[in-house]
Chains A and B, each alone.
Chain A
Amino acid sequence: MIEDLLVCVIGLAVVFVVLAVLMFVIIGMGRLFGGGEEGAEDANAAVKTKPEETKQEPPIPEGATELAAITLAMASYLRQRGRELGPYITINNMEYQVDVGDLHSPPISVEVNGEKFRASLNGEGLPVSTQIELNLGIWPRDTKRGPFWRAACPPTQGGYWSRGGWTGRQAAGMDRK
């Protein structure tokens, strides 16, 4: 029985050791090869030296792109109402597993059934805020109202909308200088 107990202890220890070694191998690979973007840059550099070997990525099915767009639209809509998109959406009775990254930081990662997409609005995230509806209802009657609609785009995103159009740091191009 002691022998069998030993099999268990050694067995579990070996499983832990193997996965721990794998973990360090993965961490090491991450440091060596970096993330996908770095990897992509490296790959591009290699391609530049051998242009004849350039090979385009297989095209993503059009339907999948539309699904990603629908997912992003749904996530944005729900976020503006202070809610989050769940892990599944259903279209035409078909269930899709979706995952949407941070809507504010571009490029926004959208995943539909494991297919990954990166979306951005001219290099920016979506200017959505959950503050709008909250602001509309909390003004006391005697409060001197300012142009509360300016809060539609938080100043932290570099600008806001006024009657005159887009204003703020971003419109003036100040944050780039």
Chain B
Amino acid sequence: MDVGGFGNIVAGFTDLADQPLMVVMLVIGAVLIYLGIAKKFEPLLLIPIGAGIMLANLPLAELIKPATEGEVGGFLWYFQKYTLSNELLPLLVFLGLGALTDFEPMLSHPRTILLGAAAQLGVFIAFLGTLALGLLPVFDFGPKEAASVGIIGGADGPTTIYVATSMIQQGGRDILGAVAVAAYSYMALVPIIQPPIIRLLTTKEERMIKMPYTFRPVSKRALIIFPIASTIVIALLVPKAAPLIGIMMFGNLLRVSGVVERLSKAAQNELMNIVIIFLGLSVGSTMTAKVFLQWETIAIFLLGLVAFAFSTAGGVMLGKLMCVLSHRQINPMIGAAGVSAVPMAARVVQAMASKEDPSNFLIMHAMGPNVAGVIGTATAAGVFLALIN
């Protein structure tokens, strides 16, 4: 009998004792799974991410072990290598999002599109904030990390992952796990974060402004031409945003064309679900104790909150301006829906409007800036990718 074989049996315990921070990561993974299941905070993403964290932080790190010559790597390493490191998964999520998104509210009331641009203010404020923190010796943040953190303010998970992954490929630090979890956590917390900011920036009279909704049907031809035209326009103005916008608009074209329902449904359901499983596990598996448990992670979470708050404020402030210019025809609250958490942000606006006046319905007006925000965030991502090298 080989006595040394006993060492292999207890190797897991030995490894855990050597790296006690792994326990902290296991707890973090469990907390995310708990939040997803018990509190229903973005369960589709937080449960796979939590599971990914737990799997990656098991003793001996077998599942994220890189492949070497003659030795097979861990399966999570293959997930990271073949899907995450080449930006494939966030783009496939965008395909599904495009197939799920109804641009009709935006197309029927185009004047509110600009609110989706104003709600990107937080992206750039957080970018500057991250760079300012980078001046402190404790934090090692450069422009690439700042771009990854800033984009959290767009409230768009796939775009955040896309930018963070691209920045890593360009030589930035691996903060993918932290920014992804921060983005999805704050997206789940939109109903808690946004109302105080909206209340702070608007008066009761402004919140009670009614916007009668006149149903303006959009012709099918316009619905079909929009995704094609917007892809061309954005690709011309911000070529780096073309992958995100192009794939999203392709998904939307599948939806509105009406002749490829099978493909549209597949993009919305089967493909989206499969991709979310891979994406969640892969992102979670990047969060090892060594990478995640740093002061910078706390800073990223705080900066993400700042980004979210300023994005909401930016939308509301432009909403106030439009309210004045339109002689109180526009309720400034709909500006807060410019962050691209669809449809959560629009629902928050509706809930606040109903609270002030139960007969006030803003949801259809809020959906326009909400979907415009998705385009705005993708454009901001393209700007970062173009300007930061």
Using CB atoms and an 8 Å cutoff, list the residues of chain A in contact with chain B.
1, 4-5, 7-8, 10-12, 14-23, 25-27, 29-30, 32-40, 42-43, 58, 83-84, 86-87, 97, 99, 101, 109, 114
B residues in contact with A16, CB < 8 Å: 114, 117-118
The 6 tightest CB contacts between A and B, nearest first, are: A39-B219, A36-B217, A8-B124, A26-B110, A109-B215, A11-B383
Expressed in whole angstroms, the Cα–Cα distance for A58 and B261 within the complex equals 10
B residues in contact with A20, CB < 8 Å: 113-114, 117
Q: Are A14 and B219 in contact (CB under 8 A)?
A: no
Q: Are B111 and A18 in contact (CB under 8 A)?
A: no
A residues in contact with B372, CB < 8 Å: 19, 22
In the complex, B301 has a CB within 8 A of chain A: no
A residues in contact with B361, CB < 8 Å: 84, 87, 99
Closest chain A CB from B326 CB (angstroms): 15
Q: Are B114 and A12 in contact (CB under 8 A)?
A: no
Q: Are B363 and A19 in contact (CB under 8 A)?
A: no
B residues in contact with A40, CB < 8 Å: 219-220
In the complex, B230 has a CB within 8 A of chain A: yes
Closest chain A CB from B242 CB (angstroms): 12
In the complex, B184 has a CB within 8 A of chain A: no
Contacts A15-B376, A25-B233 given; does A34 touch B128 at CB 8 Å? no
Q: Are A18 and B213 in contact (CB under 8 A)?
A: no
Expressed in whole angstroms, the Cα–Cα distance for A49 and B214 within the complex equals 33
Expressed in whole angstroms, the Cα–Cα distance for A155 and B143 within the complex equals 68
B residues in contact with A38, CB < 8 Å: 219
Q: Are A4 and B111 in contact (CB under 8 A)?
A: no
Expressed in whole angstroms, the Cα–Cα distance for A37 and B230 within the complex equals 23
B residues in contact with A114, CB < 8 Å: 102
Closest chain B CB from A117 CB (angstroms): 11
B residues in contact with A58, CB < 8 Å: 258, 261
Expressed in whole angstroms, the Cα–Cα distance for A80 and B229 within the complex equals 45
Expressed in whole angstroms, the Cα–Cα distance for A35 and B107 within the complex equals 10
Q: Are B117 and A19 in contact (CB under 8 A)?
A: yes
Q: Are B233 and A11 in contact (CB under 8 A)?
A: no
Q: Are A4 and B225 in contact (CB under 8 A)?
A: no
B residues in contact with A8, CB < 8 Å: 124-125, 127-128
In the complex, B83 has a CB within 8 A of chain A: no
Expressed in whole angstroms, the Cα–Cα distance for A43 and B217 within the complex equals 15
List B119-171 residues whose CB lies under 8 Å from chain A.
120-121, 123-125, 127-128, 131, 143, 146
A residues in contact with B124, CB < 8 Å: 7-8, 11-12
B residues in contact with A86, CB < 8 Å: 354, 358
A residues in contact with B118, CB < 8 Å: 16
Query: Quick one: which of A15, A32, A34, A84 contacts B379, CB cutoff 8 A?
Result: A15
Residues 168-210 of chain B: 1 if any A CB is under 8 Å from the residue's CB, otherwise 0?
0000000000000000000000000000000000000000000
Q: Which of A19, A23, A109 has the most CB of B within 10 A?
A: A19
Q: Are A4 and B380 in contact (CB under 8 A)?
A: no
Q: Which of A12, A38, A97 has the most CB of B within 10 A?
A: A12
Expressed in whole angstroms, the Cα–Cα distance for A158 and B361 within the complex equals 29
Expressed in whole angstroms, the Cα–Cα distance for A109 and B383 within the complex equals 40
Expressed in whole angstroms, the Cα–Cα distance for A40 and B220 within the complex equals 8
Expressed in whole angstroms, the Cα–Cα distance for A8 and B314 within the complex equals 14
Closest chain B CB from A62 CB (angstroms): 18
Contacts A15-B379, A29-B226, A36-B220 given; does A84 touch B359 at CB 8 Å? yes
Closest chain B CB from A81 CB (angstroms): 12
In the complex, B234 has a CB within 8 A of chain A: yes
In the complex, B339 has a CB within 8 A of chain A: no
B residues in contact with A84, CB < 8 Å: 358-359, 361
Q: Are B350 and A36 in contact (CB under 8 A)?
A: no
Query: Quick one: which of A4, A33, A99 contacts B131, CB cutoff 8 A?
Result: A4
Expressed in whole angstroms, the Cα–Cα distance for A26 and B227 within the complex equals 11
A residues in contact with B113, CB < 8 Å: 19-20, 22-23, 26
Expressed in whole angstroms, the Cα–Cα distance for A11 and B381 within the complex equals 9
Q: Are B237 and A21 in contact (CB under 8 A)?
A: yes
Contacts A18-B238, A26-B226 given; does A12 touch B121 at CB 8 Å? yes
Expressed in whole angstroms, the Cα–Cα distance for A56 and B361 within the complex equals 34
Contacts A21-B237, A25-B233 given; does A11 touch B218 at CB 8 Å? no
Q: Are A34 and B238 in contact (CB under 8 A)?
A: no
Q: Which of A5, A36, A114 has the most CB of B within 10 A?
A: A36
Expressed in whole angstroms, the Cα–Cα distance for A86 and B362 within the complex equals 11
Query: Quick one: which of B121, B143, B217 contacts A37, CB cutoff 8 A?
Result: B217
List B211-256 residues whose CB lies under 8 Å from chain A.
213-222, 225-226, 229-230, 233-234, 237-238
Closest chain A CB from B17 CB (angstroms): 44
Expressed in whole angstroms, the Cα–Cα distance for A69 and B230 within the complex equals 36
Expressed in whole angstroms, the Cα–Cα distance for A34 and B56 within the complex equals 55
